[in-house]
Structure 1
Amino acid sequence: MSNDRHEADHHAYANSTFGPPPLADPDAPFRVENSHLMKMELGKSSSSCKLSFVTRLNRRAVLQEFWCASYEEAAVYQNLAAHSDVVNFKEQLTRVDFVGGNGKPTYTKVDAHLLLKDMNEVLFSVKYDTKARRKSYIEEIANIAGQCSRQVADRFNLGSRYAFHPVYRKCAAEIHKARRGWDPESDRIVLEAANDLGGAFSFGALIDRSMLGAKGYRAAVRLIGDGEITKNILDPFCPETHCRSAA
């Protein structure tokens, strides 16, 4: 992606809370930047931070470090980052003020704030599966969501890693691993192979056409993660999976 294209993307999201992630420096593609938090700035999670999660949000983006209060948060962040509709997200960025069930005003810092390709913004509250399914907690989140202004976000979601289908979770893990690498030349060759194949083709045929072997596999996974090649979201990365070029 050229700098002009990147600036155009940022301009498109000028009215959003934040824009696309910064591009990686081709001369230092493995340098890691903070999403927006330093570890000591975690606020509500400062005493319970368990780990950091480092990923690229697309194959050209800088590696970003996200601080997580739990493994569950890290797992959900990985699933969110792998969705081709997600442009960017920030952890514990957004405060939502609301009146609680006791009638008193209070607020919460939401676990993830997503920016989507359609310019909608989504808040995502992460909880372990048993709590995310608990009727009383669902009602609590519904109360907060009902009081959340559309100027803050367009939707408010709740879930654990198990809100995502098992095949999707496996694909998300593969996208994460492939994006951790850096190989723009292989990405270019595989994208050209997809365009040459035209229409529908199998994942295996794409790898064969690229003649790059394992490098081609990883590049194809990155391109699918970015939405430049498409497949059914619940199909695995296997030779017979049907794919299409998004061009």
Structure 2
Amino acid sequence: MDLGIEGRIALVFGGDSGIGWHTARRLLDEGAVVVLSDLDQERLDAAAGRLDAPEGRLHAFTADVTDLGSLAALRERIEAATGPVDILVQSSGITGAQGLFHEIDDAGWTSTIETDLLGPVRIVTTFLPHLRRGWGRLVLLASEDAVQPYDDEIPYCAAKAGVLALMKGLSRTYAKEGLTVNAVSPAFIRTPMTDAMMTKSSEEQGISFDEAVEQMLTEKRPFMAIKRRGEPDEVAAVIAFLVSAGASFVNGANYRVDAGSVGSI
């Protein structure tokens, strides 16, 4: 499928693994020039090596989404290497503080919101001038948790709900300039984040990793009609569509990639 993005510059945050890495691979296959960004240069370089991109089509630069100075430095490196960004995919984030509300302290709330909500705010603040040039695509990764909160990860749920509100507000402001803004909300995807969650659950309960996954599907995600974890490439496929030329009339939308996990329509 020709997405009409050949030669476009795409910046993918959270690009060293999971959804971000698979998104980068799809965009490279469509002829885009891709910049991967995450915290650790060694991990980024390894991720870039696995993509095996043609010369000049892939760059890997670190940045800290909690630091405006770090993001400004990233913008300067990208401008020097490729020119301004046309496509921005924000898929970095953390699980954050977990537990029941009365078990989470102020530091847990602060660290979660700092990364999962203010991180996207800072990213958009930094790169919005690039995207306001007559054609742009911005996709923010939210979560099923944004609209169907769970009692043991309320800070993450609140942050992701904020991401949806951010997306909707941006979509109303900049569409007239040719910038579309949308969100993708995955549920229980096979990523390092959910791997860590299942490993912790299996160790705490003295059960196998696979048993922890099955328990999650049965007890905590009963509406997931497709009874398995999603694959990151299944999320990347939706992101790739949203940044394509063919999605020019899709704006302010939240695409759920969740096997039906959200119980409402």
Which band: TM-score by shorter chain? Answer: under 0.3
* The structure with more radius of gyration: 1
TM-score, length-scaled by structure 1? 0.28
Question: When you count helix as a share of all residues, which structure comes out higher?
Answer: 2
Q: Which structure carries more relative contact order (alpha carbon 8 Å, separation 6+)? A: 2
| TM-score normalized with structure 2 length | 0.26
